[in-house]
Chains A and B, each alone.
Chain A
Amino acid sequence: MKLAGLKTAENAHDESIWASAWVPATDNRPALLLTGSLDETVRLWRTDELSPAAPPLGGHALGVVSVAAHPSGVVAASASLDSFIRVFDVESNSSIATLEAPPSEVWNMQFEPKGTILAVAGGSSASVKLWDTSSWQLVDSLAIPRQESSRPTDRTGGGKFVLSVAWSPDGKRLACGSMDGTISVFDVHRAKFLHHLDGHFMPVRSLVYSPLDSRVLFSACDDTHVHMYDAEGKNLVASLSGHASWVLSVDASPDGAAIATGSSDRTVRLWDLTMRASVQTMTSHSDQVWSVAFRPPGGTGVRAGRLASVSDDKSISLYDYS
C-alpha cells in the first residue's frame, strides 16, 4: 500500500481551502472533487487533471467550513461559518434548499450511507441535527446528555461544542466528536444516546467509520493522536501517534486497509491498519492540511484509488492510492 503524488493544483482557491469531499460518479460522469474555502466559494474539480468542472459556486458568507456529497452523486451540501447550509444540484448548481441554524450551530456534515438523512454536527447546541433529504425539514436532534461529573457551578453551560460527525456504514449508528474531546455514539433508529468513547481531552475535529466494519471508528484529535475505537464495546483498540501537531482530518480507504490523516504539521500521513503504524508521510503542502478524502469506488472503468488533500496554502493535492 502506498501513495504516489499525481498532481497538485496551486492556488485552486483565492484563500485557504477548508473542506473537501468526493461527489460519487453518476451514470453520465465520473466522480468529482468538491472543495470549500475561506474565499466563500465551493468549487468542483475533475480528476485526474484537477481542472474546474464548473464555475465557482457562491452563496456563502464568512467561509465554507464543510462540504458533503449525497451518495447518489446528484446533490451536495456546503456549510459556512454563518451557519447556513446550502443544498444544491451538482449538475446545474441550482439551489435546492437553504437550511438555517442559529449562529454557531453548524459544523461538519455527512449524508447517511443510503442518502435519506443529512447529519449536521450542531456546534454549540451540543447535539447532532438530522435533516430529511426529501423534504429538507429538520427531523430530529440527537442531544448529548450532560456528563455527571460536570458541576452545577460551571458557568459554561455544558460547554460542549460538537465539531465532527460520522455515520456507520450500515446507517444504524452515528458518532459525534466535541471540542472537549468526548465522542458520543447514538442509535439513530431509536434516536437514543448510547455511550461516550473516552480517551481524548482535546477537540475531536474529524471522525470516520471503517467502511468494512460498523464497529470500528477512527478519530482525529488535537492531541496529535488518531484513535481507533471499538464503538460498540466502548474500547480503545489502538492509538496511532506520529503527527507533530493537531490532526485535523481522517478518512478511511474504500478497501478498509488504510486510513489517511491531514494535520496542522502540514503533512498527510497514510496508516497501515494491520501494522497500526504510519507507512508514508506526504509533505507536498506548505501549510496545515484541513481535509483528506478517499474517492469512493464506482464509476465507469475506474479502478484506481485516489486520495485528495486540501490545505491552508490554497492548494489541492491528488494522490494515487494503491
Chain B
Amino acid sequence: MHLHQNMIAYAKCLPWENKITSTHIDEGAFKASIIDWKNRCLSAAKNARLLYQRALHLTPWQSNIYADIAITIDLIYSLLEREKTDHDTRQLSERMSLGSLMFEGVNCDFWVILACVTNDYALKQHALIRGLQLDNSLAVSWAYLGKLYMKLGENHLATQSFDRARSLDPSLALPWAGMSVASHDRNYSLSEAYESCLRAVQIMPLAEFQIGLGMLAAVSGHLLSPQVFSAIRHSIQRSPYYPESHNVHGLICEARSDYQSAISAYRLARSALRIASLSKDSAKHCLTDVSVNLARALCQAGLMLDAEQECEALNKDGMLNCKGLQIYAVALWKLGKNDQSLHVARNLAKNVSTMEESSCTAAIGLICQLIYRISGLESAISTILKLPREYLNGAKMSLILSTINALDPNNRLQLLLPTSLSSFGAYDLIVEMHTITATNKMIQNGSEQSLDIHSGIKYLKKVLRLYPDSKLLRNHLGSLILYSGDWLASHIAPRCTVLPTGYPVRTGLKSPFEIHGGAGVSCYASCVTRPKFSFPACRCQPMHGSTVTDHLQKWLHQEPWNHEARYLLILNLLQRAREEKFPSHLCIGLKRLISIALSMINETKYQRFLLLLSASEISLQCQDYSDCTNYAATALELLPSNDNSFFAHLQLCRAYAAQEDLENLRNEYMNCLKFNTVNQIGWLSLKYLESRYKLQNGCNTVDVNYKMCFTSELSSSNMWVAVFGLVSALCFIWDNDFISAEQALAHACSISKEESCLFFALGAVCMELARQQMGLQFLSRAMQHLIKAQETSPFPLPIVSALLAQVEGSLGSKAKWERNLRLEWFSWPAEMRPAELYFQMHILARQSTAACDPQTNIESYQSPLRWVLRALHLNPSCLRYWKVLQKLTD
C-alpha cells in the first residue's frame, strides 16, 4: 500500500526542469517540454491507479482503497484538464468515493474526499457538513467549507469557516492561505496577509500557495526575501504551466537586479499564457502586464532596442498602458530619439488625470526628468510651473522639485517646495532632501566653474549632528571632503564614513569603499601601523585594525566583477609596495592584477591610463626598462593630448634617467614642459630630475609653473609651499650650496610649523654649515631646530636624536649628549638598528660609570667590547670598527 501511495506522490511531485537556457524562448519547445512533463506525471498516476485497482481486486472489502482510487482518478483528470462539464468521466471518481462511503458511512474523512472529488457545489457542501456532523472538530472540513464559500462569493461565511478551521488545527495550511486571500474584505493588512500566506507555504508547499505568496510579496515589498525566492522556484517546478509563477519569478529576479533571468522568466510567462486556456479578455489583460514587465526588464538590462520593439508591439495592439508609456519614453530617450520620447511623454501627460495617485506622481516625475534631460533646465522649470499644484505634492515629487531647484541659480521653484522638512516623517527622505540642499548651497556659493565645496561640507556637518546614523549623509560628507583638496582630507574622510558589513548598498556620491580606497592612495603615510618600513612624520592618527587594502580585498572578493574595486585595490597595493620598497612578491601580484584589469573592457580611459603607468612603475622598480617605457608609451597613446599625458612623459623621464640615457631624457623633459599639469607633485618630481641631471636651460619654468598650481585651499597651499622648499633645498644640496638650502628650509619651516621632517632637514643642514666652519651660530640653530623636530614628531624619528647628541656634545654638554644617544637607541625598531648605532652605544658604554643601572642606561646592558662586536657583526666592512676592536682587545 505504501508503494501505491508513493506512486501518487511521485505523480504529484515530479519536478519540471527548465531545459531551455537560451534567451530566445521557443514557444513550441516550451509547450513540448510541458506536455512531456505532464505525460510523465500522468503515466505515474495511471500506474498508481492500476495498482490500486489490483489491490481492490484482491481485497474488495477494504473501503479506503475505494477512496484512494477516487483520489487518483481525480488527479488524473486534473492532469488531463478535462472540462468540468464532462459529466460521465467526472462521475467515476465520485462513484468510487461513494463506494468507500457505502462500506464505512461513519468515516468523516471519506465525506471530505467526496466533497473534494465532486463538482456539484450542493453535494460538496452537503458532504462537508455531513463530515462535520460526524466529527464537529474536523478542521479539514471547515477549511474546505471555507474554500467552497469563497468560491461561491460568501466571503463572510468563508472567513468564519477558515477561522474555525484555524483555531481547531493551526497546523493546517489551507485556512492560513484562505485568510490571506480574504484580506481584501477585512481590515487585514497586507503584511499580515503575507505572513499568513508564508505560514501556509511553510506548512504545505503547494504551488498555488507559493504563487499567492509571490504575488503578496510583490505588493507588500518582500520580493527580496529568500523564502519567497525558494517558494517561487519550487512552484515553477511543480506547475510550470501557470504563467503567474513565471511572472512572479521575473519580478523577484528583477528585484535582485538579475535582469537577464527576469527577461527569460517573463518570456516563459508569455509562452505559458499563450498555451493556457484562458478567456480572450483576461488573456489579453495578462499578456499586457507580462509584456510591460518584460519591456521594463529589458530596459533595466540596457537592451533598449528590444525594449523599444516590445513597446511598439504593444502600441500596435493598443495595449500600451501608462506604465508601458513610461518605459517606452525612457527607452526612446536612451536610444537618442529625443523627439519621439517627448512625444510619448506628452501622450503620458494627457492620461495623467485618469490615473490613480501613486502612478500619477511616478508619471509626472518621469516627465519632469525627461524634459530636464532632453530640453534642459529652463524648459523643465517652465513645465513644472505650468503643472497643477495638486500633482506636486508627495515626497518623491518634492525630491525631484528640490533637485531641479538646486540646479537653478535663481531658485524659481522655491515657493513650490514644502516649507518644513519634518512634514515628511521618514528620516531617509529628510536626509536626502538635506543632501540636495547641501548641493544647492555649493552651487549658490560657488562660481561659474567650480562649486563651493566648503559650504556644502559645513552644511552636511550640521545635518550629521542631527542625524548621526545616516549612512547617506556620511558617504556624501566623506566624498565632499575628499573633493575639497584639504591637506588632511585623506585622513578625515575615512573617519566619517562607515564601511558596510553586509551587502554594500550604493548611496551618496561615492561608496564608503571608494572613499576609503581613494583616501588610502592620497596620503604618503597610509601604513603608519608598520614603522618597519617607513617613519611617517604625518600628524594624522594611525588607524587600528585592518588596513585599507584588506577592506578593498574583501570588497573585491564580494564582487569579483567590480572593476572599481580591482582598480582601487591595485592603486592601494602599489602604494603599499612603494612603502615597503617594492618587495618582489607584491610586484608579481600587482603585475598579475594589472594584467587582469587591463584585459577587462569596462575601465574608463583614465583608469586604464593610470593602470598602465602603475605597470610601468613596477617594471621600473624591477629594473625592466624596456617594459617600463613600453607601458608608458601605451599610456601616452591612450590619452595623447590630455593634460594627464604630463605624467606619462614624466614616467618616461624617470625611465631614461634610470638608464642614464641623457638625450631621450632631455626630449621627454621638454615634452613635460610642453604639456603642463596642474598637479604640484608632478612639478616637484620634474624639478628633482631637472636638478639631478642638469636639464635646466636658464629659465626656471618649473618653479613658475609650480606656483600656478596653487588652489584657494589655504592649508594645502601652505603645505605645498613648504614641500617645495624642501625639494629646492635638496636640489641646492646636490649643488653643494648649503647656504641656499638653509634659507629654503628656513622659509619652509616658517610656513609649516608642525612638520617635524622639515625641522629635521633644517637642523641637519645647519650642522653641515657648522662643520664647514661657517660660524658657531649654526650650531645653536641646529640644536634649536632638532629639538623642535623631536617635539613635533608624533613618533620618535630616528637619526634626529643622534644628530642632537652630536650637537650637544660639540657644545660640551655631556649629560645631554648621553640622554640623546639613549633616545636614539629607542627610536629605532629592533630589527632596523644600524651598525653605527651599536658603535655609538659602545662609546656611551665606555663613558658611563660602572655603577649604572641597566634599566635606565641601556648602554651598560653590555660591555663596550660586546657593542663593538655587534656593530662589526652588522657591518664587517667598516675599518673604523676593526681598529677600535683592536684597541679594546689589546
Contact = CB atoms under 8 A, between A and B. Distances in A.
A18 B469 contact: no
B502 A123 contact: no
B496 A62 contact: yes
Interface in B454-495: 458, 461-462, 464-465, 468-469, 474, 488, 491-492, 494-495
Which are the 5 A-B pairs with shortest beta-carbon distances? A82-B495, A161-B469, A61-B492, A104-B498, A103-B498
A262 B288 CA distance: 58
Report which residue of A63, A82, A102 has the largest number of chain B beta carbons within 10 angstroms of its beta carbon.
Answer: A82
Contacts of B772: none
A18 B465 contact: yes
Contacts of A179: 468-469
A104 B462 contact: no
Contacts of B502: 155, 157
A91 interface: no
Contacts of B24: none
Given A62-B461, A62-B492, A103-B474, 5 more contacts: A83-B496, A84-B495, A100-B541, A104-B496, A153-B225
Of A83, A104, A290, most buried by chain B (CB within 10 Å of CB) is: A104
Interface in B339-365: none
Contacts of A83: 495-496
A98 interface: yes
Nearest to A246: B466
A123 B468 contact: yes
A174 interface: no
A123 B474 CA distance: 13
Contact of A98 (B499, B501, B541): B541
B2 interface: no
Contact of A81 (B458, B464, B469, B544): B464
B469 A104 contact: yes
Interface of B: 222, 225, 458, 461-462, 464-465, 468-469, 474, 488, 491-492, 494-499, 501-502, 541, 543-545
Nearest to B503: A155
A63 B468 contact: no
A149 B156 CA distance: 32
A153 B492 contact: no
Nearest to A105: B498
Interface of A: 15-16, 18, 38, 61-63, 65, 81-84, 98, 100, 102-104, 107, 123-124, 153, 155, 157, 159, 161, 163, 179, 290, 312
A114 B494 CA distance: 35
Contact of B469 (A61, A62, A98, A123): A123
A104 B492 CA distance: 12
A82 B496 contact: yes
Q: Considering residues B491, B492, B545, which has the most beta carbons from chain A within 10 angstroms of its beta carbon?
A: B492
A15 B462 CA distance: 10
A83 B247 CA distance: 48
A309 B225 CA distance: 49
B558 to A, nearest CB: 16
Contact of A103 (B488, B495, B544): B495
B496 A65 contact: no
B488 A38 contact: no
Nearest to A155: B502
Contacts of A82: 492, 495-496
Contacts of A124: 469, 498
A201 to B, nearest CB: 12
B462 A107 contact: no
Contacts of A61: 488, 491-492, 495
Contacts of B474: 103-104
Contacts of A103: 474, 494-499
11 contacts: A38-B461, A61-B491, A62-B492, A65-B468, A82-B495, A84-B495, A104-B474, A124-B498, A153-B222, A153-B225, A159-B469
Contact of B468 (A16, A98, A157, A161): A161
A163 B495 contact: no
A102 B465 CA distance: 17
Nearest to B512: A103
A313 to B, nearest CB: 12
B775 to A, nearest CB: 36
Nearest to B464: A81
Contact of B541 (A84, A159, A290): A84
A225 to B, nearest CB: 16
B260 to A, nearest CB: 24
Nearest to B422: A245
A155 B471 CA distance: 13
Nearest to A104: B498
B461 A63 contact: yes
A124 B494 CA distance: 15
Contacts of B541: 84, 98, 100
A62 B495 contact: yes
Contact of A104 (B222, B458, B468, B544): B468
A104 B225 CA distance: 29
A65 B465 contact: yes
Contacts of B492: 61-62, 82
B666 to A, nearest CB: 45
Contacts of B543: 100
A149 to B, nearest CB: 13
A312 B544 CA distance: 33
A164 B612 CA distance: 50
Contacts of B225: 153
A82 B544 CA distance: 14
Contacts of A153: 222, 225
Contacts of A65: 465, 468
A63 B495 CA distance: 12
B442 to A, nearest CB: 17
Nearest to A63: B461
A206 to B, nearest CB: 13
A161 B498 CA distance: 13
B466 to A, nearest CB: 8
Contacts of B495: 61-62, 81-84, 103
* Most central of B494, B498, B501 by chain A CB within 10 Å: B498
Nearest to A107: B468
Contacts of B469: 104, 123-124, 159, 161, 179
Most buried by A among B464, B468, B541: B468
A157 B494 contact: no
Contacts of B461: 38, 62-63, 81
Contacts of B465: 16, 18, 38, 63, 65, 81, 290
A81 B501 CA distance: 20
B480 to A, nearest CB: 11
Contacts of B499: 103
A157 B505 CA distance: 13
Most chain-A Cβ atoms within 10 A of its Cβ — which of B462, B465, B496?
Answer: B465
A290 B492 CA distance: 24
Contacts of B496: 62, 81-83, 103-104
Nearest to B542: A100
B268 to A, nearest CB: 28
B714 to A, nearest CB: 15
A50 to B, nearest CB: 23
Contacts of A312: 462
B140 to A, nearest CB: 31
A57 to B, nearest CB: 15
Contacts of A16: 462, 465
Contacts of A18: 465
B763 to A, nearest CB: 24
Contacts of A84: 495, 541
A291 to B, nearest CB: 11
Nearest to B474: A104
Nearest to A202: B427
A122 to B, nearest CB: 12
Contact of B498 (A62, A63, A102, A155): A102
